[in-house]
Amino acid sequence: MLDLTLAIQEHAAAAQEHASGPLTVEGGLMFWTIVIFLLLLVVLKRFAWPAILGAVEAREQALERQLAEAARDREQAAALLAEHQKLIGDAKSQAHGIIVEARSVAEKDRALAIEKTRQEQEELLARARREIGAERDRAVAELRREAVDISLAAATRLIEKRMDADTDRKIVLDYLATLGERQ
């Protein structure tokens, strides 16, 4: 049994010498790994690498184009914004000018309407004064005629003698005229 134990220990010691681990270096495995890596590198360099580089370069150019377009679009947007702001400013100034002009026109129209109304009022007042004066003159003339007629009638009754009507009228009118001068 001892022999068996000894044999197992020797076998275990030999296995430990030939055991592979992450830190053990095996020459044959390393050689074939390097050969396969180099072959894979040659195949990739010949067939895959140009396609990968072409795709990367195409993507890079596309990104550069997109960046250039974005910059151009940004510049156009800034120009459009400036133009829009300028148009808004122009529109505001035009609107302000129109409002000022409308106010001025409205003020002139109001002043003209007031002046026209005042002139019409003055004309109406002057016409009314003329009509009142004419009516007063007619009324005074009518009163004088009636006063003359009444005076003649009274004088005729008093004197009991009828005088010439034209002469009587002249005497009474002269008398009334002297009364008007006294007042």
Sign, Cα dihedral of 151, 154, 159, 162:
positive
pLDDT class of 2 with cuts at 50, 70, 90 = low
Confidence class for position 148, pLDDT limits 50, 70, 90: confident
131: helix, strand or coil = helix
pLDDT in tens, 28-67: 888 999 999 999 999 988 988 888 889 999 999 999 999 9
Residue 156 has pLDDT above 80, yes or no: no
Residue 122's CB is within 10 A of a number of other CB atoms, namely 10
Q: What is the largest CA-CA distance in the chain?
A: 207
Task: Look up residue 162 and give its two tokens.
Answer: 């009828």
> How is residue 180 written in tokens?
């008007």
What's the number of CA atoms in the CB half-sphere (13 Å) around residue 24? 9
- Terminal CA-CA length for the chain: 183
- pLDDT top residue among 107 and 11: 107
CA distance 35 to 32: 5
